[in-house]
Amino acid sequence: MTNENRLKPGPLDGIRVIEIAGIGPSPYAAMLLAELGADVVRVDRPGGAGLPHAPSDALNRSRPNLAIDLKHPRATDVLFRLVRHADVLIEGFRPGVAERLGIGPADCHAINPGLVYARMTGWGQDGPLAVRAGHDITYAALTGALHVSGGTDKPRQAANLIADFAGGSMFLVVGILAALLERSRSGAGQIVDAAMVDGAASLMTMLYGMHAHGVWRDEREANLVDGGAPFYDTYRCKDGKFVAVGAIEPQFFAQLLTGLDLEFDQFDRASWPAMRDAFKDTFAGRTRDEWARHFEGTDACVAPVLSLAEAPSHPHMAARGVFHQLADGYEPQVAPRFSRTPGRLPGSVRTVGQDSASVLAQAGFSPAEIEEMAREGVVHLARSS
């Protein structure tokens, strides 16, 4: 991505998004939309809505922060002035909360019938668990996604990637983009009900299909891609670090065996225990990086398992510019990539209320109105902004 391209509008240029601050899936979705060129404003509560014990939430980057006390009697008037000219509103409250605040779908559609009102929850807007609390591990547990992750001894979550970000954020973004596309034909907005349980279940489509046809055992480490097959697993090396092996196809498996100087019948399950032991013993004879160099240039599908500190410096990651270096670490760049309208470079993480004055001024509020609302506690101004 050249500097010239970075200055061009992103593919979502001209789309205005209001993000009611939440944690996890909704801010990540809003960040993606912002870095794809949308004009996103994060509406935060005066005290912030970030994760506990997180001094700086990277998900809040790349968009201005307006702090409004949504419980204040005048708050809806302020928000509705933004809604009037918005294309999308994102909220992640429990069902019924937005309605009680007077900013639910009916309220907002009365102001702007073309608004895409996007709702992000764990359980969805209805159902017996709709108002219950939960987290990624909770939603993954009830969809079967957690059951297939981990080892024979116990299920293990893949951080909070399954339900929060894959099942939540990504499906929220897909829903928003689909609703915007449909609006271009109908002229009407609609509600997008994105639930993490729905998304996490959808991610399991292939495995549920395989299970229905009897080719996926309903147990961990008993299948082709869950660690059951020795040629799709991780192995400890001489230095205690790991390599990942993913040689499913016979031609790739053949290159793996050549590199390890071993002979096995790939799909003879009876030989898998002996194959796994041979792989363990062989990989333990060299360091992780020695094995990476050994298999470099082959299709054996052997890769070093890199840490968060190591991954950004890998030659492929560096060549593509997958990560952006910061003073104290790295951050991933926007994805996917576009030939004519590349996304924006990641912007700074904004503090609560840092952009209140400028956002309100752009929405047509006068300096006197902004100061009055600040005095009354309707909005919060971070004076250092």
- Rounded distance, CA 258 to CA 300, Å? 9
Convert 20-87 into a string of H (helix), E (strand) and C (coil). Answer: ECCCCHHHHHHHHHHHCCCEEEEEECCCCCCCCCCCCCHHHECCCEEEECCCCCCHHHHHHHHHCCCC
328 in catalytic set: no
| C-beta of residue 148 within 8 angstroms of C-beta of residue 203 | no
Instruction: Round to whole Å and give the CA distance between 243 and 250.
Output: 20
The tokens of 376 are what? 């009354």
CA distance 277 to 334: 41
Q: Which residues pair with 323 in a beta bridge?
A: 332
- Say if CB 225 and CB 232 are below 8 A apart: yes
Determine contact, residues 382/91, Cβ cutoff 8 Å.
no
β-sheet bridge partners, residue 195 = 121
Out of 136, 164, 198, 355, the active site residue is: 164
Coil, strand or helix at 66: strand
Q: Which amino acid is at 370?
A: I
Question: CA 184, 186, 191, 196 torsion: positive or negative?
Answer: negative
Q: Catalytic: which of 57, 72, 135, 314?
A: 135
Q: Confirm if 287 and 274 have CB atoms less than 8 A apart.
A: no
**Interior angle at CA 210, CA 208 and CA 214, nearest 5:** 115
Q: What one-letter code names the amino acid at 199?
A: G
Answer yes or no: 164 catalytic: yes
CA 170, CA 252: separation in Å to the nearest integer? 31
Q: Which residues are catalytic?
A: 135, 164
